[in-house]
Structure 1
Amino acid sequence: MKIITASFLLIMFNFSVIAQKSNKTINWNADLEYLRAQIYSIFPNAKDRINENDFNTTLARLKSEASSLSINEMAVEIMSLLSLTNDNDCFIYPFQESLSSPILPLKTYFFSDGHYVCDATEPYADLIGEKIDKIGHYKVDELFQKLQTVIPADNIHYQRYQFSLYSQLPSFLSWAEAIENKNKVHILTSSGISKSVSFGDLSSYLKLERTLASQVGLADSQSNHEQENYWMEFWDDGKSLFVQLKAIEDQKEGNSFSDFVKEIEARIKSGKVEKVIIDNRYGGGGNGFMLNDLTALLRESKTINQKGKLFVLTSRSTKGVLLEFTSVLQLNTKATLIGEPTGEGPNTVGDRVTITLPSSKLEVQLTKLFWPTSFIFDNRKTIQPQISINYTFDNYLAKHDPWLKAIKEYNLISYEKQKPDLSTQNKLVGKYKVEGYKLKIYQEDGKLYAEVKKKLRSFFELHTELYHSKTGVLSSDIPQLSLLYEKIEGKSSLTKLEWSGNTYELQ
């Protein structure tokens, strides 16, 4: 769960002065066999997660084609092998010493209304603000479909996020047969601008700007938080506390994360905070265990842990520790999720390790450990928000944040739920087991709750209020979760847990 900083990217690119190893001296068969062994040794449950026939077929093809390909071309082909893991953290970093890939000097983004140029170096400044219609021989959507095969990811949402990078690398465009000349690419915009753009170095690319909605600060604020791992400001009427998290690790300057959480607690307890907004849209690195105190604070706050009082913002790049936190809040609070489907699922956030292929010296990232944040039978590859937004290029230009607009327009009345009657509550209280988990049903202040306690060195825990949905069915604050009950020998008892349409027997 690590993040790659801009400075690290620049350092790696500077190694390009080192001569690349000739492809003719590389023993690709040895490298590919080594990679196969490492994947099945390191990647969790590889035999269950990877289609063996597809893997072996792809591996055989790579071995047969390797002698005719450059090291950069082979790196793309290996990405097609890694894509079979369906995991974000299995990939080859394109700017490492062995590759030092050039990149187009454009900063782009896939907005809901198209793929736009947000910034560009000279002499391509006339492309800024333009919607890209074609890259090389393909329309943007056609190119995206082709590149999906070589963009390892949990889901299509993260692939769309990564498209802005991989659609600007010559080796990937050449693989997709979008270009013949690896020195430049033809760009056509929807307004009719036709331009040949040459690939440049990474250092020029890193200087380009692309600041998304509230990414470095609120639009009406004078503060800039670009260099901060976490920050907070009051928003709107001064009663809503906006908390943005990018990396859950202590900053080099300023408050530690622990002190940051204490400051949030002090503001909530002051009575001046009516809403808390947790922004999990950007970043994702750090230590998930450092979030325990913040989770407990939000869950146990009677003023904030209410419908319409706690909001979590998500995007297609929500992954890593921030995905874990999003999942934990969904399963333990009355938070309303607003935004885009996340870049990972609740049980596919992992730690990764770097392996080096012995002959080519290519460095490959592999997931070594998953940190589940939900039931083991939760197979979601993304977390869907309860309220979806569209982020358009016009929003970007105007510095409008549609996530925050959705909070202003939130209608609490449409989300009100009915408590089960006390007689039903009394009959259902007790301890149950489901698929190896201990589920506790208890009453407090006239309300009925379900709880699964966290195990040691685990992120998964569940705490939710239960509501009357219809006869024999209890709904919850968790969109995927319902509990079914029926009368057995004259007594009402819970019989099944329903999760995303699948049912599991309760004991």
Structure 2
Amino acid sequence: MHALLTLAAALLMPALLAPPPALADGPRALTVEQWRRDLRVLADTLVAVHRDAFHRLSRAAFERQVAALDRRIPRLSDHEVIVGLAEIAAAIGDGHTRLTLPEDPAVAFSRAHTPTPLPKRRELLFHHLPLRLYLYGDGLFVQQATAVAREALGARVVRIGTMSAEEALEAMRPLIERDNEMGFKLLAPARLAIPEVLHARGVVADPSSVRVVLRGRDGREFALDLAPLEPFAPATWIDARDSAAAVPLWLRDPGRTFWVEYLPRDRAVYAQVNRIADDSLETLAQFSRRLARVVDGHAVERVILDLRLNAGGDNALGRGLVLALARSRKADRPGRLYAIVGRGTFSAAMTLASQLEQWTHTVFVGEPTGSSPSAFGDPRKVRLPHSGLTVRISTVYWRGWTTAEDRPWIAPQLPAEPSSEDYRLGRDPALEAALAFPARDGLAGVLRETLRRGDIESAAIALDCFHNDPASADESTEQLVNRLARELLQQDRAAEAATVFWLNAHDYPRSAAAHAGRGEALERAGETRQALESYRRALALDPGNADLARKVEALERRGEGLRE
């Protein structure tokens, strides 16, 4: 990411010689008719190029939104029109389709893999506040700031302009391109640092001075009136992390494409892959081979693959990494292989995560992924004729490996959302969770943890992977799953227990214990008819079981039309 931004900044250096754009209302950079022409090109191109432009939004609703912006253009400033265009692109409803806001690439947050040209008129450039925000588990905080806003570092955002932090975040929603809510959590804080966006969305009345109310660690609230940074002016960012805190592994070298390190104290191999791409010195396939050699050459209890900062790349290149891990008997065993994912795991990194889920025994750790297993991607860049703004439009639909095309993300079996205090102190709760998990418990530990949280989908996937792995195909899970289902029953979680017993009965249809357990769980859940059906199946498999016979007789005596 850093390399791309540096290249883009170098390409755009001549812009530094031009006078800075003004934030205040003034003459338009484009005429009303020019903006209307750009709007029409945007609308027509979205429909023509997108793989399925109306998969979420109806054509009628889309056309109403376009017509509404067209009517408002004569009354809007340039930056308000740009935000309106961005809202129309975002309304398509996928994380790749978007209008890229015209920002200085050195300060903009971007998931793009290629540089974005500047708009044709410098007056169209957006500004940036001297803050970078992040939405932690405990709220919206200032993660970085320049020297003029040093006081804000590590403080919680209480208000921006006329809105509370929560209201301001919600005001960003219409222009956030996303596949799921994690995409919103990633991108909305970045939009809150753009004064033109704040003004267009009604958060502030004057984009040239933004009042931010903050709460420090001591509980004291204070206000800062912040002037925006000038585009392309050098800026040094100060981090909220305590200077005495060690830099956590995942932030040690985010600019590298991929790297690996053995952690001897933890008997773990940690690998971070930040782009699905070849490096200048090593292809991803070569790195994958090197990773396998590191695993083979050390005493290893677990292998941890960190994809938190990976916004994607080339879908075809992830195959080598999946193969290297799947072929490693030291790595690819239940409870031994972990992938740390989160809101930044997107696009080709999402495809990689989905392939790991399908073909390996990966335990996912951290936050839900920032993309969906089934999602649109491979965007084509289109430049609007008068403004020169860049639109990216998805052209391909990537389907996930399960039949559930509406899965919003891959959820972690070991959730670990960072807090602001974690960040300040250099703690990494996701890595800590992966290192602390009892790897020796294998499949039993993975299933127990997922079921403890009620994540039956992940448990079913783990069982499916285990049963379809030639290395474990002959190992029975019947007694293990029955035992875990009974643990749920003991916790008064009858409905969940019934589902787990059903999974076991599906895998072992001649298991009287699985059918009987499901009957008991359903009976406790008040599903009498289904309970009787399960008891009858169990009795047919174990006709000499007097206890089952009594249960069938008791339910049949209740009446309610249950007798066949």
Q: Please state how far the C-alpha of 1:251 moved relative to its aligned partner.
A: 2.1
Q: How many residues align?
A: 441
Q: Which residue of 2 aligns with 1:179?
A: 204
Q: Which residue of 1 aligns with 2:119?
A: 97
Amino acid in the other structure paired with 1:299 = A
Counting only pairs closer than 5 Å after superposition, residues 412-431 of structure 1 correspond to structure 2 as 413=441, 415-416=443-444
Q: Which residue of 1 aligns with 2:451?
A: none
Moved more, 47-56 or 325-334: 47-56
**Matches of 2:263 and 2:446, distance apart in 1:** 31
Q: Which residue of 2 aligns with 1:5?
A: 4
1:157–1:342: 8 Å Cα contact kept in structure 2? yes
Q: Which residue of 2 aligns with 1:201?
A: 230
**Matches of 1:326 and 1:3, distance apart in 2:** 23
Is 1:219 matched up with 2:218?
no
Q: Which residue of 1 aligns with 2:473?
A: 447
1:108–1:116: 8 Å Cα contact kept in structure 2? yes
Matching residue within 270, 278, 292 for 1:250: 278
Q: Which residue of 2 aligns with 1:232?
A: 260
Matching residue within 369, 386, 395 for 1:359: 386
Q: Which residue of 2 aligns with 1:458?
A: none
Is 1:268 matched up with 2:295?
yes
SS of equivalent residue, structure 1 residue 47: coil
Q: Please state how far the C-alpha of 1:160 moved relative to its aligned partner.
A: 1.4
Q: Please state how far the C-alpha of 1:4 moved relative to its aligned partner.
A: 8.7
**Matches of 1:369 and 1:445, distance apart in 2:** 35
**Matches of 1:325 and 1:204, distance apart in 2:** 38
Q: Which residue of 2 aligns with 1:31?
A: 38
Cα displacement string for residues 323-368 of structure 1 (whole angstroms, at most 9, x for unaligned residues): 1111111111111101111111011151111112223332211112
Is 1:43 matched up with 2:72?
no
Change beyond 3 A, Cα 1:389–1:145: same
Cα displacement string for residues 224-244 of structure 1 (whole angstroms, at most 9, x for unaligned residues): 534311011122615211000
**Matches of 1:486 and 1:394, distance apart in 2:** 47
Matching residue within 399, 422, 429 for 2:426: 399
SS of equivalent residue, structure 1 residue 76: helix
Task: Tell me which structure has the larger Cα radius of gyration.
Answer: 2
Q: Please state how far the C-alpha of 1:415 moved relative to its aligned partner.
A: 4.8
Is 1:287 matched up with 2:314?
yes
Q: Which residue of 1 aligns with 2:330?
A: 303
Q: Which residue of 2 aligns with 1:125?
A: 150
SS of equivalent residue, structure 2 residue 205: coil
SS of equivalent residue, structure 1 residue 10: helix
Cα displacement string for residues 111-165 of structure 1 (whole angstroms, at most 9, x for unaligned residues): 1112212222232211112111111111111111111111121122111111222
Moved more, 56-65 or 68-77: 68-77
Q: Which residue of 1 aligns with 2:351?
A: 324
Q: Please state how far the C-alpha of 1:467 moved relative to its aligned partner.
A: 6.3
More strand by share: 1
**Matches of 1:237 and 1:180, distance apart in 2:** 55
Structure 1 segments unaligned to the other structure (5+ residues): 420-438, 450-464, 474-478, 489-507
SS of equivalent residue, structure 1 residue 231: strand
Change beyond 3 A, Cα 1:100–1:266: same
Q: Please state how far the C-alpha of 1:446 moved relative to its aligned partner.
A: 6.3
Q: Which residue of 1 aligns with 2:195?
A: 170
**Matches of 1:100 and 1:157, distance apart in 2:** 27
2:30–2:386: 8 Å Cα contact kept in structure 1? no
Q: Please state how far the C-alpha of 1:445 moved relative to its aligned partner.
A: 5.5
Amino acid in the other structure paired with 1:313 = I
Cα displacement string for residues 1-40 of structure 1 (whole angstroms, at most 9, x for unaligned residues): x999332553577537389872325433332222222111
Structure 2 segments unaligned to the other structure (5+ residues): 22-27, 104-117, 448-464, 486-499, 511-564
2:211–2:224: 8 Å Cα contact kept in structure 1? yes
